[in-house]
Amino acid sequence: MSMMKILLTGKNGQVGFELQRALAPLGELLAVDQPECDMADAQAIRRLVRSFQPDIIVNPAAYTAVDKAEAETELAHAVNAVAPGVFGEEAAKLGAWVVQYSTDYVFDGIKAGAYTEDDATHPQSVYGRTKRDGEIALQQSGARHLIFRTSWVVGAHGKNFAKTILRLAEERDHLTVVADQYGAPTSAALLADVTAQVVHQKQREGEDGFPFGLYHLVAGGETNWCDYARFIVSEALAIGKPLKLLPDAIRPIPASEYPAVAKRPANSRLDTDKFRKTFNLELPDWTIGVRHVLQQILADGKW
């Protein structure tokens, strides 16, 4: 059996960085980022896929600046909506398959309970719309694929909410944080490890009856941004990091008091039943992944 060839995009992003580690043992891995392949350039993507001829394309690369996307619509569209379809078209020609990551932003966030894969999408922002269009482009490309929708991604590598809170906690003795948006912070390492598990399962079991399709993939449990910020600060203090800010000095505010250019979903809860039952994998509580990320961030001393 020849070694599986894996093409990974966005290797310097939060999820891509962790995927490099998780996928490396599974085959010959080519990991690229913007300098090696411009994700806004469909021809560059085609050239890359045709020269490497992968068995699997794992594409966490995305335009993720949610507020900036409202102005940079063309760039967001090229990277988030067009590129997944191009990867799909090229994969279909090679008989390869694609793993694509998507987001809670494809929903409007007004549902009472957790969103399932069958719920209608209704994105409220350019970012959400382009990510939804990317899902559709991949689904229509003819390639076998997995789409993992996730939310509130946090990793030791890259920019995220946890690092922002730690930075502010060193400078300020009080803070206001939105408390009426709900979701599950999901560590980049969990996404990477689970992806590697699923890829390995596909290697073992082969094509026949493999459950390709769309899945919701987030950590267990739920929280809101304010409680999440308090958790970050109390964990950092427990590890022995001296901070100006105490958890009680983080005050809750409604999203209406925090002006953002792009609309955020109030409810980002994603139901992971389908994923857990299909792949027989457990998704640990969000606090476990975040605690691990905070230990790494604080050990590195960079945020």
3 state SS for 6-40 = EEECCCCCHHHHHHHHHHHHHCEEEECCCCCCCCC
Amino acid 192: pLDDT = 98
Amino acid 303: pLDDT = 77
Distance between CA 190 and CA 248 in Å, rounded?
A: 29
What does the buried/exposed string (b/e) look like for 96-107 if buried means 16 or more CB atoms within 10 Å of the residue's CB? bbbbbbbbbbbb
From first to last of its 303 residues, what are the pLDDT tens digits of the chain?
568 999 999 999 999 999 999 999 999 999 999 999 999 999 999 999 999 999 999 999 999 999 999 999 999 999 999 999 999 999 999 999 999 999 999 999 999 999 999 999 999 999 999 999 999 999 999 999 999 999 999 999 988 999 999 999 999 999 999 999 999 999 999 999 999 999 999 999 887 889 999 999 999 999 999 999 999 999 999 999 999 999 999 999 999 998 899 999 999 999 999 999 999 999 999 999 999 999 999 998 877
Structure tokens at 155: 């990793």
Amino acid 301: pLDDT = 82
Amino acid 37: pLDDT = 95
Helices (H), 66-186: 73-76, 83-94, 126-139, 161-171
Amino acid 1: pLDDT = 53
Amino acid 207: pLDDT = 78
Amino acid letter for position 179: A
User: Which residues does residue 31 pair with via DSSP β-bridges, in sequence order?
Assistant: 8
Structure tokens at 90: 């090229």
Say which of 63, 101, 105, 127 is annotated catalytic. 127
| Domain spanning 5-159+185-221+268-278, CATH class | alpha beta
Tell me if residue 182 is catalytic: no
